Amino acid sequence: MIYIFLFFLSFLLTYAIREFAIKKSIMDIPNERSSHTIPTPRGGGLAIIITFYIGLFFVKEDISRELFLALFAALPIVIIGLIDDIISLSSKLRFTVQALSAILALYLLGGVDSIDFVLFKLTGWWLNLVALFFMIWLTNLYNFLDGIDGYAGTQTLTLGLGIFFIFSSDLGLVLVVASLGFLLLNWHKASIFMGDVGSATLGFIFGVLSFSNVGQGGEIYFWLVALSLFWFDATVTLLRRYKNGEKITEAHRKHAYQRLVQSGWSHEKVTIGLLLFNTFFLLLLYWFENWGGVFLVSLVFLFAIMRFIEHKKGFE
């Protein structure tokens, strides 16, 4: 019953935020780097975040006290993201807030002692620096990948399903219903966008979850696979732009998913592709114990997808 309530809460909050944004002219205005053609209200991701935190209190017995507290380290990012959706803030200010929030989250989690990766068990204090970088990067790349209708919301939906079915954690269901209520108004053609308040906060929340014990454990392979389309696209694109001598802080339309839209694919088709890819690999994670092997298979698919998109629309 609580999940039905949370679903309708997310939908009603999204609708109310859309009406408020229209009234106050809080709009995303299309430019040459946009994947949209008409002004659209933004900030709808706030509905996901509010619903998530309300739902968090209903499932707090399902997670550790450390994780419960660490998830609230995202609140400064919520605030800075909301302000940025109304008046643009400098990237330095946003980065500083993200870094401080990540440090607080790691402190509340008790730090990172070890990570199992490939054939090695990595240990040492330096892993906290890796975790810090990962959280900040995931916060920003989730924002970068929120560029077409339904894309970031669908990623949240599938990740929530993975957390629920693989880790048997009701926290996953909270993410599912919170994103579903928003997606009803964000599916193509979207009548409201997620905005920084939603995308950056969700990226940070997933960064926190990546280094926590959710259910049976927070193995890093799950997060690398479940978020693979996002981190792979963002990281490869960033490195290619840097290699080309481009200013990497400038907005652009060179991410793989954006180039696929430019090649003629609809927003809906690209988003459904994300849904199918994520579902397939979540099933592999569910069926097979060798998550490292699943991760390697996902990399093969990701390189193949990148080559396919390169053929459809080059990196110009």
How far apart, in whole angstroms, are the C-alpha atoms of residue 292 and residue 222? 9
Q: For residue 21, what pLDDT is reported? A: 93
Nearest CA among 260, 239, 257, 256 for reference residue 248? 239
Question: For 147-202, how does the pLDDT look when each residue is reduced to its tens digit (9 = 90+)?
Answer: 899 999 999 999 999 999 999 999 999 999 999 999 999 998 889 999 999 999 99
Q: How many CA atoms lie within 13 A of 65 on its CB side?
A: 0
Question: For 31-72, how does the pLDDT look when each residue is reduced to its tens digit (9 = 90+)?
Answer: 656 666 688 899 999 999 999 999 999 999 989 999 999 999
Which residue, chain included where needed, has tokens 């994780």? 67
Q: Percent of the chain having pLDDT more than 70?
A: 94
How far apart, in whole angstroms, are the C-alpha atoms of residue 237 and residue 247? 12
How far apart, in whole angstroms, are the C-alpha atoms of residue 143 and residue 146? 5
Q: What angle do CA 72, 77, 78 make, to 5 degrees?
A: 80
In terms of Cβ atoms closer than 10 Å to its own Cβ (0-12, 13-18, 19+), residue 103 is middle
Q: Percent of the chain having pLDDT more than 90?
A: 72
| Model pTM score | 0.94
In terms of Cβ atoms closer than 10 Å to its own Cβ (0-12, 13-18, 19+), residue 88 is exposed
Q: For residue 36, what pLDDT is reported? A: 67
